[in-house]
Amino acid sequence: MIEVRDVSRFYRRGVDVVHALEHVSLHIPGGRFMALMGPSGSGKSTLLNLLAGLDRPDTGEVVVAGQALSVLDEDGLAAWRARHVGLVFQFYNLIPVLSAVENVELPLLLTGLPRAERRRRAEIALAAVGLATRQRHRPQQLSGGEQQRVAIARAVVTDPDLLVADEPTGDLDARSAVEILTLLRELNRAFAKTVVMVTHDPRAERFVDAVVHLDKGVLVNGTGGAP
Amino acid sequence: MPIPLAYNLRNIVVRRWTTAFTMGGVAMVVAATMLLAALVGGLQGMLASTGEPDNLIVLRKGATSDGASVVPREAAQALRALTGVARAPDGTPLASPEMLNQPFLHTEAGTRENVLVRGVEPVAFTVHRAVRVVEGRMFRPKLGEVVIGRGALRRYAPGGLGSALAFGRRRWTVVGVFDSGGTAFDSEIWADLTDVLDDTRREGFVSGVRLRVAPGTDGRALARRIESDGRFTLEAKPEVDYYREQAETANALYILVLTLGIAMAVGATFGALNTMYAAVAARTAEIGTLRALGFSRGAVLASFLTESCLLAAGGLLVGAALAGLAVLAINTLLSGVQFSMMTFSVATVFLRLSPGGAALGLLFATGVGVLGGLAPAWRAARLRVVDALHRA
Amino acid sequence: MTYPRLVWKNLLRHPLRTVFTTLSIALSIFLVCAVLTLPGALDAIIERSASNLRITVHHKAGLSYWLPYAYVHKLRSVPGVTAVNHYSWFGGVYDEPKNMFPNFAMDPETVGQVWAEYGFDPVALERFRKIRNAALVGEQTMRKFHFRIGQQVTLRSSVYPVDLTFQIVGVIPRPDSPLFWFNRQYLEEAMERYGGMRMVGWVWLRVARPEDAERVMRTVVDLFRNSEAEVAAETEKSFFASFFSSMQGILRVVLIVGFLVVGAVVLIAANTAAMGVRERVPEIAVLKSLGFQRRPILLTLMAESALVALLGGLLGAAAAYGILGALAAAGKTGAMPFLGPLASFRMSPGVAAQGVSIALAVGLVAGIVPAWNGARLNVVEALRRLF
């Protein structure tokens, strides 16, 4: 369901030009739980950003569920993300001034749903990640693992096709990390959501369907990633 | 060991906009304070400088100013003959009877104002030592000629010498310009006493008399003698005292300046507090590092306090410059500020930047710098090193 | 969870900072309101006490030139004039020259007609007519010196060689009137031994309708053209206004100061807004990644800035209204002699509205640049900064 065709992306850092991605092509079937791995600076986050419509490639095409992202302008991409992508980050996921349920409700502001309905869905999503009792807590009052679960609840509350996670376990202790990975796999299995995750965590290999390795902006060896 | 000043300076430069805004806020406070103080300073300066140390002013008892006083001609005559009044080399008593009038005069712009016309005899120019005809010549009697003060010139007779002025019942000609050294007289028009008496149909009275006290005579004793003369109801006092009383209105204004300045300074302090708290929060990791390297709490406190004061100092300089520019603009482009005092006449006051105003500005800037920086600096100093580093 | 709630929560993020900013804006708007009151107060005084139905007739050359008393009689027969009165400045001092209030010798017979809209107590007017040394005193002067009706008051004239003692028989029913009126005849009698009184300061005319004023004024000026004393005629409004025109200079300086105050407010508010945005870069990045577009983000950020400024403005305006109102009630304001006839600084709701509007404008202006920058944040750059 995700097609990455001959995509390159580079940045200028002062006088240097950094080639974050070079001619990467990839196909990710729908419903797959895929991990992008590689050393730091390998371009995995860059690739993730492209899949999620957060960034544009300099060359090549990204097509997600039939939608070519290049034809969308910035507002168009934002609207597309709101409906089709759920995002989980490593840090600073949640808005500190909002409670857990308010954080989860946030993406729903972009739909046209009435207030009561928005609240209902947020509560359901929180219950799905096992945090029904911690709804009103602020992020500061939650542990790292709990915060990440709230973030995941937020990511799925709009029922997106694609779930994207950038180092979701990077800041967590071992037990929480496993909980999060388990949760992601459950979402993938139970709801057939395509999940693409960038990670350093070697434990992740156990949970995912496929792993793609990147090094210096180039795919190194893919398992199960070939079209 | 103190934290190097360069650290603070670098941060100020790097956080460009915050610096600009905070300094700007202080600058506005300083500028506003100094500008108002310059207004008061101009007024005070004008009034304080007017008044010769050895002159007496004689008015009707209870008169608020020489524009509101009425003294009978006989009284004026009697004063001339008093012992204790100085005499010119040729024997003329240095007693100047003066008639004040406030006719309407239309300015170039078409507005109608009250202008102060002082009817005098030639002896007035001797009694009022500071007054000197600097352009043209002295007026001749009974010809409707006038000499005009520098301050009034620009406003009422921009055409200069030879201009015709229409006030009262007739037209007058400007034949000279006088300078009185920045005193209140600069806003006046001086004419022949007889002409003025004629114009106002007030024969038999003058407004008051100015006397030069003879050397060796006690001025205050002379004043008391004048006041105790049962024939007339007069009051006499040294010119210096008289003008000081007139200046009291300006003192009331100073209260206004102070109040305004304090209020603004408090507002700016809040702004500075915001800035410094944010700076501390943003630089928590740095503070932790500095402490870990060995700098003491006191050094951290001093450093942030210094930074806050540097911002305030910058604001002070900009504000003072702004005030200076404003004063210059108002004095040259608007030719001063029209100020009407208790008499209904209008004096043109030129703003004068005063040391008092600068001191106030300095005080407020310092206040903002110290008060705005103290609490945040305290917080910075009390950070626990471990916490600070952890947040990095 | 709604947009307004998000805005509100963001303001509570740093309560201290929000409080400081609000207070600082409040303080500045308080000052701005005080400054704005000045020109308004002058206009208000003119509005309140000056009428289109009263005309002044004075010597063309100025108020210090007096008119022959015979003019009063002549003016009575000008068509369109319903009543006539006059003023002659007595310049009387009660206790100290500093505290002098305006006192005039005038005609007790036509007070009720010429100042019909003031609503005088008919009993007071009657006594003013009957009692030779009666005086009517404005409420402001009554308050300031704690005068009572029936009290004897002596004024020492600084213009005439007499001191006169009066009996207060009533008030001029205007709260900011400092005037002191008495019977000209009383003064004339006292002046007999000094050669009498043939002149009058200026004359008041009452017309039936505002439309008549123009015509009457022209008639009056023509009537005395080429005579011994030419006159100028103007409505009471215009007359008062010209007194205040001499304050233009001060007004200008005060307005410049007001402008500087507003400038300071803008800078402080902008600084706070910019700080807020800078710190929230990661959050804005998250919001954008979730799919929030630029416009909602821009509006949310601007709403924060505007809300703080609005709160500050309301607080400041309310404080100004309250404090100035209290001062006015206590009769304290306007006690500065340099302001001359100005009675009280009463802040009008209009000025309060202006103050609040300025605050709101400040919030929007101060917020727009940081908000714009925040909204246009490049998500990827921002996210990168997190790692």
Lowest-confidence pick of B50-54, C171-175, C367-371, C382-386: C382-386
B268, closest residue in chain C (CA to CA): C24
Is residue A70 within 8 Å of A3, Cβ to Cβ?
Answer: no
Domain C-terminal end among B194, B214, B234: B214
Query: Helix or strand or coil: residue B147?
Result: strand
C241 or B227, greater pLDDT: B227
Q: Is residue A122 part of a domain?
A: yes
Q: Is residue A227 part of a domain?
A: no
DSSP H helices in chain C? 3-12, 15-49, 70-76, 111-114, 122-130, 139-145, 184-191, 210-223, 236-244, 248-279, 281-290, 294-329, 349-375, 379-386
Taking residues C206-229, report their average pLDDT.
91
pLDDT of B387 strictly over 80: no
Interface size A-C, in CB pairs within 8 Å, comes to: 87
Q: In this structure, are B371 and B346 located in the same domain?
A: yes
Number of structural domains, chain B? 2
At how many degrees (to 10) do helices C349-375 and C294-329 cross?
A: 160
**Three-point CA angle C14, C20, C24, nearest 5°:** 150
Share of chain A above pLDDT 90, in %: 22
Q: What are C235's strand-pairing partners?
A: C55
Distance CA A34, CA A197 (A): 6
Q: Which chains touch A (3 or more CB pairs under 8 A)?
A: C
Q: In this structure, are B73 and B42 located in the same domain?
A: no
Which 274-293 residues of chain C touch chain B by CB within 8 A?
A: 274-275, 279
Lowest-confidence pick of A32-36, B199-203, B256-260: B256-260
Among candidates C1, C13, C384 on the partner chain, residue whose Cβ is nearest the Cβ of A105: C1
Please tell me the predicted confidence (pLDDT) of residue C233: 93
Is residue B221 within 8 Å of B213, Cβ to Cβ?
Answer: no
Local structure of residue B376 (DSSP, 8 states)? H
Please tell me the predicted confidence (pLDDT) of residue B341: 58
Is residue C295 within 8 Å of C375, Cβ to Cβ?
Answer: yes
pLDDT of B301 strictly over 80: yes
Is residue B372 within 8 Å of B272, Cβ to Cβ?
Answer: yes
Distance from CA of C154 to the nearest CA of B (A): 13
Number of structural domains, chain A? 1
Q: In this structure, are B32 and B75 located in the same domain?
A: no
- Residues from chain A contacting residue C276 (CB–CB below 8 Å): none
- Residues from chain C contacting residue B264 (CB–CB below 8 Å): 27-28, 31, 261, 264
Please tell me the predicted confidence (pLDDT) of residue B290: 79
B331 or C169, greater pLDDT: C169
Q: In this structure, are B34 and B87 located in the same domain?
A: no
A11, closest residue in chain C (CA to CA): C381
A46, closest residue in chain C (CA to CA): C380
Q: Is residue B240 part of a domain?
A: no
Please tell me the predicted confidence (pLDDT) of residue A197: 93
Please tell me the predicted confidence (pLDDT) of residue C148: 92
Helix/strand number for chain B, H first, E second: 13, 16
Query: Are the beta carbons of C274 and B112 separated by less than 8 Å?
Result: no
Please tell me the predicted confidence (pLDDT) of residue B274: 84
Please tell me the predicted confidence (pLDDT) of residue C32: 85
CATH number of the domain within which A47 lies: 3.40.50.300
Q: In this structure, are B110 and B185 located in the same domain?
A: yes
Distance CA A124, CA B284 (A): 39
Q: In this structure, are B33 and B70 located in the same domain?
A: no
Distance CA C134, CA C136 (A): 7
> Cα separations (Å) of B225 from A198, B229, B242?
105, 6, 18
Backbone dihedral region for residue B377 (phi beyond 0: left; psi -120 to 50: alpha; all else: beta): alpha
Q: Is residue A138 part of a domain?
A: yes
> Cα separations (Å) of C227 from B17, C218, C221, C361, C381?
71, 15, 10, 58, 88
**Three-point CA angle C360, C365, C366, nearest 5°:** 95
The pLDDT confidence band at residue B391, using thresholds 50, 70 and 90, is: low
Please tell me the predicted confidence (pLDDT) of residue C338: 41
> Which structural domain, as residue segments, surrounds residue A148?
2-222
Strand pairing report for B55-60 and B71-72: unpaired
Q: In this structure, are B194 and B266 located in the same domain?
A: no
Distance from CA of C221 to the nearest CA of B (A): 15
Please tell me the predicted confidence (pLDDT) of residue C263: 85
pLDDT of C252 strictly over 80: no
State pLDDT tens for residues A170-221. Answer: 888 888 889 899 999 988 888 888 999 998 888 888 899 989 888 888 887 6
Please tell me the predicted confidence (pLDDT) of residue C2: 80
The pLDDT confidence band at residue B346, using thresholds 50, 70 and 90, is: low
C202 or A192, greater pLDDT: C202
Query: Are the beta carbons of B69 and C158 separated by less than 8 Å?
Result: yes
State pLDDT tens for residues B41-98. Answer: 888 878 877 888 899 999 988 787 888 888 989 999 999 988 889 999 998 999 999 9
B181 or A164, greater pLDDT: A164
Looking at every residue in chain A, the average pLDDT score rounds to 86
DSSP assignment of B190-247:
EEEHHHHHHHHT-TTEESEEEEEBPTTS-HHHHHHHHHT-TTS-EEEEEHHHHHHHHT
Of C171, C221, C16, A117, nearest to B274 by C-alpha is C16
- Residues from chain C contacting residue A107 (CB–CB below 8 Å): 290-291
Looking at every residue in chain B, the average pLDDT score rounds to 85
B176 or B203, greater pLDDT: B176
Q: In this structure, are B194 and B168 located in the same domain?
A: yes
C86 or B380, greater pLDDT: C86
The pLDDT confidence band at residue C336, using thresholds 50, 70 and 90, is: very low
Distance CA C53, CA C37 (A): 27
Of B358, B273, B275, B372, nearest to B319 by C-alpha is B358
pLDDT of B139 strictly over 80: yes
Distance CA C58, CA B344 (A): 16
State pLDDT tens for residues B5-37. Answer: 888 888 888 888 888 888 888 898 889 889 888
3-state secondary structure chain A: CEEEEEEEEEEEECCEEEEEEEEEEEEECCCCEEEEECCCCCCHHHHHHHHCCCCCCCEEEEEECCEEHHHCCHHHHHHHHHHHEEEECCCCCCCCCCCHHHHHHHHHHHCCCCHHHHHHHHHHHHHHCCCHHHCCCCHHHCCHHHHHHHHHHHHHCCCCCEEEEECCCCCCCHHHHHHHHHHHHHHHHHHCCEEEEECCCHHHHHCCCEEEEEECCEEEEEECCCC
Query: Are the beta carbons of C287 and A106 separated by less than 8 Å?
Result: yes
> Which structural domain, as residue segments, surrounds residue B206?
55-214
State pLDDT tens for residues A94-125. Answer: 888 788 998 898 888 888 889 899 999 999 99
Please tell me the predicted confidence (pLDDT) of residue B345: 59
Quick one: CA torsion of B325, B330, B334, B337, rounded to 10 degrees?
Answer: 180
Please tell me the predicted confidence (pLDDT) of residue C344: 56
Distance from CA of C282 to the nearest CA of A (A): 7
Distance from CA of A99 to the nearest CA of C (A): 10
State pLDDT tens for residues C39-82. Answer: 777 777 777 777 889 999 999 888 888 899 999 999 999 999 99
B340 or B189, greater pLDDT: B189
Lowest-confidence pick of A158-167, B293-302, C306-315: B293-302
Q: Domain spans of chain C?
A: 3-47+246-386, 61-229
H or E segment to which residue B313 belongs: helix B297-333
Q: In this structure, are B201 and B268 located in the same domain?
A: no
Share of chain B above pLDDT 90, in %: 29
Please tell me the predicted confidence (pLDDT) of residue A152: 92
The pLDDT confidence band at residue A227, using thresholds 50, 70 and 90, is: very low
Q: In this structure, are B96 and B194 located in the same domain?
A: yes
Query: Helix or strand or coil: residue C143?
Result: helix
C386, closest residue in chain B (CA to CA): B392
Q: In this structure, are B21 and B43 located in the same domain?
A: yes
Is residue B370 within 8 Å of B305, Cβ to Cβ?
Answer: yes
Query: Are the beta carbons of A80 and C291 separated by less than 8 Å?
Result: yes
Taking residues C346-353, report their average pLDDT.
82
Q: What are A165's strand-pairing partners?
A: A88, A197
Taking residues B154-160, report their average pLDDT.
81
Choose, out of A10, A50, A54, the residue to mutate when testing the contact with C (most C CBs < 10 Å): A54
The pLDDT confidence band at residue A225, using thresholds 50, 70 and 90, is: very low
Share of chain B above pLDDT 70, in %: 95
Query: Are the beta carbons of C62 and B103 separated by less than 8 Å?
Result: yes
Written as six digits, the tokens of B342 are: 């208790």
Domain C-terminal end among B190, B214, B238: B214
Those residues with Cβ within 8 angstroms of residue A108's Cβ, 6 or more apart along the chain or in another chain? A118, A121, A122, A157, A158, C1
Written as six digits, the tokens of C75 are: 């003016």
Q: In this structure, are B179 and B72 located in the same domain?
A: yes
* ipTM of the prediction: 0.73
Please tell me the predicted confidence (pLDDT) of residue A18: 83
Please tell me the predicted confidence (pLDDT) of residue C340: 39
Taking residues B269-294, report their average pLDDT.
82
